[in-house]
Chains A and B, each alone.
Chain A
Amino acid sequence: MSTDKPIDKVEDKLYGLLAEYESPGALIEAAREVRDAGYTKFDCHSPFPVHGIDPAMGIKPTILPMVTWGAGITGTGLAILMQTWMNNWTYPWNIGGKPLFSLPMQIPIAFEVTVLLAAFATFFGMWGLNKLPQVWHPLFGNDNFVDKATCHGFFVAIEADDPKFDQEGTTATLEKAGATAVEAVRYETSKKHRALPNGVIAFMALSMCLALVPFAYIAKQRASTSDKPHMHINPNMDFQTKNKPQTASDMFADGRAARLPVAGSVARGELKADDHFYRGLVAGEWATEFPKEITLSAETMERGENRFNIYCSPCHGLTGAGTGMINQRADAVGATATGWVAPSNIGQESFAKQPHGQLFNTITHGIRSMPSYGAQIKEADRWAIVFYLRALQRSAHSTIDDVPAGEKPAIR
């Protein structure tokens, strides 16, 4: 050969010996003999799991069940934690009066997640322990093996790495065990042909890129501004053929789409028939008693104080003496001269004599320059304020004798 180029020399190496057996039974016998002969790096190959081969080869039970167990328990715990965290802590939400932590209703998801994680662990754990996927294996270079191993052949392969391996002796062992054929399997040491074909790699890369497109689109839409809706998948939901408030309609004589309720309609809960509670009247006179809905308790008093301090004190002051912040400011800027009506001193005699109902009415509708508070303060709260006013009026006329004996020194 007269050429300058170096010869393409294929370096190859012995993988081991491959022996074929005629039946599953023969395979079991052979496996037993190979193991008894002291080989450790060997394997049997069959188109289906041959029963009885595990003890013959001395295969130890796999740890896979433990993996499944661990994943399953993790799943249970995670699912319970997730549900508790989401529905109990970060987003507590009352549903049908169920407790936030409803264990019975967490069981189904806990079960599903347990199974899901256990199945994942089993599936991927099994392939992992089996060292699969595997792109290349020396045995795939043997035609007889490829023809039969996944169809109808039964093989024993002993690796050359096995400490007991020597080609002649091992061949003899395999033949003695009933092999119908024994051949040496060699493989190329170059790693080039062990990789995935370029086409496959390109395909995988391309599909991964394509899979990112929707996410990229969403990201772009989220990061940019526009005066139109970004994504309009279902226009029907946005442009519905219906009348909206404040639009015109040919349907009615007055040309308006929005309709008034029928005269005399009363909305639910808006009847307010109880004169005493809602208007402070009993038989047409100002009520002198608190309505039965109001309990005269320390709680109501506190509520009244709280509402008074929010709504009333800016003008009337915290003691009700009419010296609130606004009045002080009015005085300071000289507004009194230009018609500022100073807020009343709630403690004065004339107010103390007014019946409860009249005070309530004043809060509801206002008086002179005091505006109406009926819209802001609910009825029960207005009554609570009246209740608190009575306390303020009492305190306006209090003396040192009203202070409990124990507290007196603190005041002096």
Chain B
Amino acid sequence: MSSAETSAEALEAREYFKGISDSVCGIVEAEKAPKIWLPAFAAAVGLTGVLVVSLYILLTEGTGIWGNNNTEAWAWPIVNFVFWVGIGHAGTLISAVLFLMRQKWRTSINRAAEAMTIFAVICAGLFPVIHTGRPWLAYWLLPIPNDMAIWPQFRSPLAWDVFAVSTYMTVSILFWYMGLVPDFATLRDRTKSKLKHTIYGILSLGWRGSARQWHRYERAYLIMAALATPLVFSVHSVVSFDFAVGQLPGWHTTIFPPYFVAGAIFSGFAMVLTLLVPARAIFNMKHIITDQHVENMCKVILATGSMVGFAYGTEFFIAWYSGNMYEGFTFLNRMFGPFAWAYWTMITCNVLIPQFFWFKKIRTSPFIIVGLCILVNVGMWFERFVIIVTSLTRSFMPGSWHYFSPTMYDASIFIGSFGLFFTLFLLFLRFMPMIAMFEVKGASPHAHAGVKHH
């Protein structure tokens, strides 16, 4: 290669890098948000208002305002908890598992997916806390020395949940923030405003991209990914233990841990697509989040949806094979009992709907993708509903059978949690680098510009 060619290659690479910084930082630096951002944000804040009001009523009136009762002690709040935790899983999967598997396409979406994880876990954490009835005493769940000399009961999966979800939250935030630091440094170096310079300066910790720092940084990133991978498996496994350690038919089955994990990834990817397919159009990010990336995610949904279908099948077979009449009844009740509509919604949305992703045409039409992904998440919400509510309404004692009806507050808190989620996500899109710039740069072929092979 002649030196002129080398220079041309280097120039092209530098322009590419600068282009990435310009388009990603441009969103944050722009005076005005895209037209659709403000109405969307207003709507999200409005929904958050619904959440706040509902929570106020809940706290002053007590959990009696929900549809929960003796038969269905765990109803919507726990359904929503499992739903939101599940949504969160895709973020960690994209950022950690795909990183370990060297799937370079992840770099375009991992930042947004990680943010989504954190916001989803915030929404998830809300529900068990308010479900305790007296959330101001939720710290009793933690092993804090107290003058009654009592301690949490560690043989209960609910205590494991506290540790699993809080560890997950903490590690996700650390991982996310670690990824943001070099990008904050980019923002710091670009800004002209003194205030912004100070804020980004503090957030970027004085990062200057030295090779000796990058060396430790990359090692730490790899370790964090290696830690987050089993962590993400453990979190939803522990959530599944909440059910499976018990003896209730329909809850106690050994395949729950991997089945819940697959379901979580399934719903999480559907949520990522629901968010990013519109976002990349609004913020003009199609050159970074490419069609190929969207297609890959559709395939992941197809694969995990099939795994979930596999687990449904196995569960069903073993319920019969076990010869346990309660177990068998629970599954027949799911299919033909009073909640059969929920069961068939679940099967349709989780097993049949993803099958559309076999077709390339569908994997490349944004509107259909978003529609199908929303249906997938409807299905995943109903999966948790079927597991929790249907099993509880008709358990061992026919005397306590009951039909569950939610109240207005069940719905308003759940819908309100979407408001909280979208508020946080829209703020993130507007004020933080939504794409991991340094990772996109490092994963591009331009990162090897001018490299000689020895």
Q: Does B bind A? A: yes
Nearest CB of chain A from residue B446's CB, rounded to whole Å: 8
User: Given the interface contacts A59-B211, A236-B60, does A24 sit within 8 Å of B189 by beta carbon?
Assistant: no
User: Smallest CB–CB gap between A118 and chain B, Å?
Assistant: 6
Q: Is the interface of A mostly helix, strand, loop or mixed?
A: helix
Known: A48-B438, A106-B154, A108-B241. 5 other contacts (CB 8 A): A22-B14, A29-B452, A50-B211, A153-B14, A200-B202
Among A29, A111, A137, A200, residue most surrounded by chain B Cβ atoms (within 10 Å): A111
Name the A residues within 8 Å of B215 (CB-CB): 49, 54, 59, 62
In the bound complex, what is the Cα–Cα distance between A57 and B227 (angstroms)?
Answer: 29
- Residues in A neighbouring B438, C-beta threshold 8 A: 47-49
**Separation of A22 and B446 alpha carbons in the complex (Å):** 12
Tell me the complex Cα distance, A137–B152, Å.
48
Which residues on A sit within 8 Å (CB–CB) of B220?
64, 122-123, 125-126
Contact A118 B227 (CB under 8 A): yes
Stretch at the interface among B143-151, B360-368, B401-409, B421-429: B143-151
Task: Determine, out of A38-46, A249-257, A308-316, the stretch whose residues face the partner at the interface.
Answer: A38-46
Chain A residues close to B by CB (< 8 Å): 22-26, 28-29, 31, 43-54, 57, 59, 61-62, 64-65, 68, 82-83, 86-87, 90-91, 93, 95-96, 98, 102, 105-106, 108-109, 111-113, 115-116, 118-120, 122-123, 125-127, 129-130, 132-137, 139-140, 146-147, 149-153, 197, 199-200, 231, 233-237
Instruction: Tell whether, in the assembled complex, residue B208 and residue A47 are in contact, meaning their CB atoms are under 8 Å apart.
Output: no
Q: Are A235 and B450 in contact (CB under 8 A)?
A: no
Min Cβ gap A123→B in Å is 5
A79 to chain B, nearest CB (A): 8
Complex interface: chain B residues within 8 A of A139 (CB): 208
Residues of B within 8 A of A120 (CB): 170, 174
Chain A residues, Cβ within 8 Å of B11: 22
A53 and B174 contacting across the interface, CB-CB below 8 Å = no
A235 to B202, CA, bound (A): 43
Give chain B interface residues in 140-190, CB to chain A under 8 Å: 143, 149-157, 159-160, 163-164, 167, 170-171, 174-175, 178, 182, 185-186, 188-190
B171 touches A119 (CB 8 A): yes
Q: Which residue of B lies closest to A157 (CB)?
A: B210
B contacts with A, residue count (CB < 8 A)? 83
B390 within 8 A of A: no
CB of B211 within 8 A of CB of A119, answer no
| 3 A-B pairs closest in CB distance | A25-B450, A23-B450, A134-B206
A150 touching B186, Cβ below 8 Å: yes
Known contacts A47-B441, A109-B159, A135-B206: A59-B10 contact under CB 8 Å: no
Report if B31 contacts A (CB, 8 A): no
Given contacts A24-B451, A150-B189, contact A123 B17 (CB under 8 A): no
B280 within 8 A of A: no
- Set of chain A residues within 8 Å of B185, measured between Cβ atoms: 150
- Give Cα distance in the complex from A133 to B177, angstroms: 14
> Using a CB–CB distance below 8 Å, which chain B residues touch chain A?
6-7, 9-11, 13-15, 17-18, 21, 59-62, 133-134, 136, 143, 149-157, 159-160, 163-164, 167, 170-171, 174-175, 178, 182, 185-186, 188-190, 198, 202, 205-220, 223-224, 227-228, 230-231, 234, 237-238, 241, 437-439, 441-442, 447-452
- Are A47 and B186 in contact, CB atoms less than 8 angstroms apart? yes
Chain B residue, CB-CB nearest to A91: B151
Cross-chain pairs A/B with CB under 8 angstroms, 29 sampled = A22-B7, A22-B14, A23-B14, A25-B450, A26-B10, A31-B211, A52-B451, A53-B214, A62-B215, A64-B223, A90-B149, A91-B151, A93-B153, A108-B164, A115-B227, A116-B170, A119-B171, A119-B224, A130-B213, A130-B217, A136-B206, A137-B208, A150-B207, A150-B209, A151-B18, A151-B190, A234-B136, A237-B133, A237-B134
Distance in angstroms from B235 CB to nearest chain A CB is 8
Looking at chain B's contact residues, is the secondary structure mostly helix, strand, loop, or mixed?
A: helix
A14 to chain B, nearest CB (A): 18
Chain B, Cβ-Cβ closest to A101? B155
- B136–A49 touching, CB < 8 Å: no
Which of B206, B216, B449 touches A64 (beta carbons < 8 Å)?
A: B216
Instruction: Kindly state the separation between the CA atoms of A200 and B203 in the bound complex, as whole angstroms.
Output: 12
- B231 adjacent to A105 (CB under 8 Å): no
B205 interface neighbour in A47, A125, A134, Cβ under 8 Å:
A134
Chain A residues with CB under 8 A of B60: 234-236
Contact A48 B442 (CB under 8 A): yes
Contacts of A153 in B (CB 8 A): 14
Cα(A43)–Cα(B119), bound, Å: 38
User: CB-CB < 8 A to B214: which residues of A?
Assistant: 46, 48-50, 53
A119 near B227 with CB under 8 A, answer: yes
Is the Cβ of B189 less than 8 Å from the Cβ of A151?
Answer: yes
A384–chain B nearest beta-carbon distance, Å: 35
- Taking CB as reference atom, which chain B residue is nearest A108? B160
Residues of B within 8 A of A47 (CB): 17, 21, 182, 186, 209, 437-438, 441
Question: Do A108 and B209 contact each other (CB < 8 Å), given the known contacts A24-B448, A122-B227, A125-B220?
Answer: no
The CA-CA distance from A407 to B160 in the complex, in Å, is 62
Question: Within 8 Å CB of A116, what residues of B?
Answer: 167, 170-171
Q: Taking A22-B10, A95-B155, A108-B238 as contacts, is the C-beta distance between A236 and B61 under 8 angstroms?
A: yes
Residue of A nearest to B151 (CB): A86
Q: Are B451 and A28 in contact (CB under 8 A)?
A: yes
Alpha-carbon distance A23/B445, docked complex (angstroms): 12
B151–A87 contact, CB under 8 A?
A: yes
Residues of B within 8 A of A87 (CB): 151, 153-155
CA of A299 to CA of B450, assembled, Å: 92
The docked-state distance in angstroms from the alpha carbon of A153 to that of B207 is 15
Q: Which of B178, B447, B452 contacts A123 (CB 8 A)?
A: B178
Most chain B CB atoms below 10 A, which of A48, A82, A106, A137: A48
* A233–B21 alpha-carbon span in the complex (Å): 49
Q: Are A237 and B62 in contact (CB under 8 A)?
A: yes
Q: A108-B238, A151-B189 are in contact. Are A115 and B206 (CB under 8 A)?
A: no
Q: Which of A90, A91, A122 contacts B224 (CB 8 A)?
A: A122
Give, as a whole number of angstroms, the nearest-CB distance from A54 to chain B. Answer: 6
Verify A197–B160 contact, CB threshold 8 A.
no
> Complex: how many Å from CA A12 to CA B225?
44
Complex CA–CA separation, A109 to B211 (angstroms): 37
Q: How far is the CA of A53 from the CA of B212 in the complex (A)?
A: 9
User: Contacts of A152 on B, CB cut-off 8 Å?
Assistant: 14-15, 17-18, 21
Whether the Cβ atoms of A119 and B449 lie closer than 8 Å is no
The answer to whether B170 touches A119, judged by C-beta atoms less than 8 angstroms apart, is: yes
* Residue among A119, A200, A231 with max Cβ neighbours from chain B (10 Å): A119
Instruction: Give A124 Cβ to nearest chain B Cβ, in Å.
Output: 9
A338 to B153, CA, bound (A): 61
Is A62 touching B234 in the complex (CB atoms < 8 A)? no
Interface centre among B6, B205, B215, B230 (most CB of A within 10 A): B215
Flag if A57 contacts B211 (CB, 8 Å).
Answer: yes
The answer to whether B198 touches A43, judged by C-beta atoms less than 8 angstroms apart, is no
By a CB distance below 8 angstroms, the chain A residues around B202 are 133, 200
- Measured CB to CB, the nearest residue on chain A to B13 is A23
Which chain A residue shows the least CB distance to B188? A150
Within 8 Å CB of A133, what residues of B?
202, 205-206
Contact between B152 and A115 (Cβ–Cβ < 8 Å)? Answer: no
B152 touches A62 (CB 8 A): no
Report whether B207 and A132 are in contact in the complex, using a CB–CB cutoff of 8 Å. yes
Other-chain residue from B151, B152, B230, B447 in contact with A24 (beta carbon distance below 8 A): B447
A123 B224 Cβ-Cβ under 8 A: yes
